Structure 1
Amino acid sequence: MFKISPSILACDFANLEAEVSAMQRAGVEMVHVDVMDGHFVPNISIGLPVVASLRKKTALPLDVHLMISDPLTYAPQFCDMGADIVTFHVESESDPQAVIDAIRAKGKKCGMTIKPRTPAEALFPYLSQLDMVLVMTVEPGFGGQKFMADMCPKIEAVRRECGRLGVPMDIEVDGGIDERTVPAVVRAGANVFVAGSALFGKPDYAAAVAGLRAAAEGAL
């Protein structure tokens, strides 16, 4: 099943509730929340208070992507604020197993992600404990970057290993995803699509979501 997760990094933050409500009416499956600390990536975005506020205003699952150096400290706090799935980077300074355990202890879903320069194999020891893998198709930190098509073999490698292990897995992609690029990631094995500028800011959100979904379905 395909899932669309609009990235609020591209929305109008002065009207966050209205933006997310409009996306919910457009039929998206979740909301992607990018958390950046200015250290792990060279940008600062939002934190715990925004997630807590957003939790009160939408029934959509909150897909929180931690681009931070210390997810072990903060992942449980984001769970407490209302995140439904917390995804952290294998390249962070925290012990990956400890972070997985901390998220699971909160009763939330757990995801793990890799930067473009990190091999897919870095995820393999943890796949049986994850609900989702996120393959970055741009360098994390800023929106509006060009899609990196050479990340598709990583998606294929993760999907192949999950099949070998018999592990059901959502594979999410984030970076430059739009109607033009989504067919390639679908064919590689992805089924969850983070999209920012391809959705937010469009004159008709329902049409934008439908167009992205149609492009994904057409790739099968």
Structure 2
Amino acid sequence: MPVEFDPARDLKIAPSILSADFARLGEEVRAIEEQGCDWVHIDVMDGHFVPNITIGPDVVAALRPHCKTVMDCHLMISPADPYLEAFAKAGADIITIHAEAGPHLDRSLQYIRSLGCKAGVALNPSTPESVIEYCLDKIDMVLVMTVNPGFGGQKFLHSQLPKMERVRKMIGERPIWLQIDGGVTPETAPLARAAGVDSMVAGSAVFKGGTPQHYGENIAAIRKACA
């Protein structure tokens, strides 16, 4: 689906299906959408760039008919370039790659956009925001990792809050989302929102409880905490 930038910067909540029931992924995607999420976040891990293996483009393609909102694909893989076309064809709306995963970030971002997708850049906790300074005009979203990537259920790294503020200042009035991923809860979300974040990935905080009703309550709690 077409992804339009929201100039009002209203908060986008993107539950990560990494914390969903993998035996029922289609149902889980439909449930979080019905319960008020804005985007569906898909964590792709290769067991090489990060110490975990999750899903590939075939699963993304299988989920696309179940996803009526934005399919937000976060590629924690290296190299990423050989797989970008496959994820675009599978139905990704946003493709986020890691600045640390390849030598030619500017070229990779241009390629993502040429495939008809929005282009995101993720920054690991130890990576400075300066790496995106010279390619901001190719970026649609900056993802500040608030945990070390690879596993769900980790605790929020408060050390990343100043980085969020600096990235927000770099973005200025450009139509670029600022997203965080990792340890998002009703307690940590307001801190990130105050730092200028307008998209939040939440996994275990959304899927805890295991029923659609719980998902709706959990999404609402994060949104309310940031209001």
TM norm structure 2: 0.92
Identity of aligned residues (%): 46
Equivalent position of 1:199 in the other structure: 206
Equivalent position of 1:105 in the other structure: 114
Give me the whole-angstrom Cα distance separating, in 2, the residues matched to 1:72 and 1:173: 23
Aligned length: 215
- 2:90 is the counterpart of 1:78: no
1:71–1:94 CA contact under 8 A, matched in 2: no
Give me the whole-angstrom Cα distance separating, in 2, the residues matched to 1:116 and 1:179: 21
Matches within 5 A, 1:202-213: 202=209, 203=211, 204-213=214-223
The Cα offsets for residues 117-163 of structure 1, whole Å up to 9 and x where unpaired, read as: 00111122122211110000000001111100110111101110111
CA displacement at 1:96 relative to structure 2? 0.7
* Of 118, 122, 126, the match for 2:131: 122
Give me the whole-angstrom Cα distance separating, in 1, the residues matched to 2:217 and 2:196: 24
Give me the whole-angstrom Cα distance separating, in 2, the residues matched to 1:41 and 1:119: 19
Equivalent position of 2:5 in the other structure: none
- 2:178 is the counterpart of 1:178: no
Q: Which amino acid in 2 is paired with 1:22? A: A
CA displacement at 1:171 relative to structure 2? 0.4
The alignment partner of 1:54 has SS state of helix
Equivalent position of 2:104 in the other structure: 95
Give me the whole-angstrom Cα distance separating, in 2, the residues matched to 1:58 and 1:69: 26
CA displacement at 1:168 relative to structure 2? 2.2
Equivalent position of 2:57 in the other structure: 48
Q: Which amino acid in 1 is paired with 2:154? A: Q
The alignment partner of 1:17 has SS state of helix
* Of 34, 42, 52, the match for 2:43: 34
* Of 202, 215, 218, the match for 2:225: 215
The alignment partner of 2:121 has SS state of strand
The alignment partner of 2:204 has SS state of coil
CA displacement at 1:94 relative to structure 2? 4.3
TM norm structure 1: 0.95
Q: Which amino acid in 2 is paired with 1:181? A: T
The alignment partner of 1:43 has SS state of coil
- 2:159 is the counterpart of 1:157: no
* Of 162, 168, 176, the match for 1:169: 176
Q: Which amino acid in 2 is paired with 1:200? A: F
1:110–1:131 CA contact under 8 A, matched in 2: yes
Give me the whole-angstrom Cα distance separating, in 2, the residues matched to 1:93 and 1:111: 14
The Cα offsets for residues 14-41 of structure 1, whole Å up to 9 and x where unpaired, read as: 1111111110111111100000111111
2:106–2:138 CA contact under 8 A, matched in 1: no
CA displacement at 1:201 relative to structure 2? 3.0
Which structure 1 residue ranges, 5 or more long, are not aligned?
Answer: none
